[in-house]
Amino acid sequence: MPDLKITREFIAALPKTDLHVHLDGSLRIPTLIELARARHVQLPSYTEGGLRETVYTERYTSLGDYLKGFQYTVAVMQDAESLERIACELAEDNQAEGVRYLEVRFAPQLHVRPGLDAVSVIAAVDRGLRRARDAYNRRPEVAAGREPAFEYGIICCALRMFTPEFSRYYATLFDAHPYTRPKNLYAMASVDLARAAIIARDREGLQVVGFDLAGEESGYPAGAHRDAFEYAHKHFLKRTVHAGEAYGPESIFQAITDLHADRIGHGTYLLEADQIQDPEIEDRERYVDKLGNYIADRRITLEVCLTSNLQTNPKLRFLDDHTFRKLRAKRISTTLCTDNRLMSNTSVTNELWLAVKHLGLDRHDLKSIVIYGFKRSFWPGDYLSKRQYVRQVIDHYDAVERKFAA
């Protein structure tokens, strides 16, 4: 094949995945404004420009600053109609830029209220994603098998910590157990969610494909949620864990050992010996070398979110300094994701383009990362159907390459 120049247009035309995208971090701003007005949610501004200037900016001062915008999005996602609409629009936005497989994650317990339990919340999101999927797959080129179909999965997020102010569900939990230590409440909520996820998948037939743990790493170890992940593990629900985003490599070790993680959300500090905080780890270089080799050998995929990392980590001043280059050199399995399309004002196409421009991604690396997103997905069907789908994706990828190289 002739030399192929990687352009943004080429990346946009490729079949892609997003395996790490938060529903409540990926609303359309016009939808946020419309729902806020309808549901009497106070916003700092009611124009897109105003919200981009005051809340959803290009650069944040810290992870805490980054997270402030979620108070507005979660507030307008407290009914089934809004959840369904937001999920449908997220799928449509991904379809428009060539994403063909999408795994949407969110914390259902943030949206539970009287008349809307966790399973009903998951069902509303599933309806929205399913509606967008079915509409897309009726297109002639997809129905005829000339292009890959669009498919999706839902990942339910447990939280490492929460307060009663997070949602009605958490407030009720605190009220019902006034003498229970908070860390035990965190674990109870995770087990409750794991059970709801299995009910949603097995009894209701919803496309729940994974279980996740999100939130502040420091001071809130993953091991506290072992029972929930053991439950998910025993019921063949795949696991991904936010780890190594704002804490050292030992957080990643705990995710893959205590929680049986199949993938790692972010994993930024996997190979960074100077980020180890456990005083019992004496030979730090050896520790990260062993951990990196173990993850590479087991093909535990890291869900890397470049723009988000740049925005939430004050130590990361330039994208060229991101650890992604080192991870690729060690042949760690990686896929590039958006994290939050609204907060980071990004898309999958943009994340891949940034990696090409700043991190030396060539044509072969690009194909490897894109295809591995499909291979390491928590596919909702059986293994044989996944193999068939990946083969179709590869064929379509090759066809796009030939078109742009011509």
Any idea what DSSP says for residue 245? S
State the pLDDT confidence band at 249, using cuts at 50, 70 and 90: very high
Domains and CATH numbers, the chain: 8-208+275-405 (3.20.20.140)
CA distances from 138 to 135, 274, 276, 380 (A): 5, 52, 50, 20
pTM of the model: 0.96
- Rounded CA gap, 40 and 144, in Å? 46
Residues 6 or more apart from 289 whose CB is under 8 A from it?
none
- Rounded CA gap, 135 and 144, in Å? 14
Q: Which residues pair with 17 in a beta bridge?
A: 101
Assigned token pair, 93: 């936005």
CA distances from 328 to 121, 128, 233, 273 (A): 38, 35, 29, 17
- pLDDT attached to residue 2: 60
Residues 67-83 have pLDDT tens digits of 889 999 999 999 999 99
Residues 316-362 have pLDDT tens digits of 888 999 999 999 999 999 999 999 999 999 999 999 999 999 998 99
Residues 142-165 have pLDDT tens digits of 999 999 999 999 999 999 999 999
If one counts every other C-beta atom within 10 angstroms of the C-beta of residue 171, the result is 14
Lowest mean pLDDT segment, chosen from 11-25, 51-65, 383-397 = 51-65
Mean of pLDDT values over 108-135: 98
For the cut 60, the answer to whether the pLDDT of residue 219 exceeds it is: yes
Residue 4, Cα to own-chain centre: how many angstroms? 30
369 against 4, higher pLDDT:
369
Residues 224-242 have pLDDT tens digits of 999 999 999 999 999 999 9
Assigned token pair, 18: 């997003």
Instruction: Give backbone dihedrals phi and psi of 342, rounded to 5 degrees, phi first.
Output: -75, -55
Residues 281-292 have pLDDT tens digits of 999 999 999 999
The residues annotated with a catalytic role in the active site are: 245
- Rounded CA gap, 126 and 119, in Å? 10
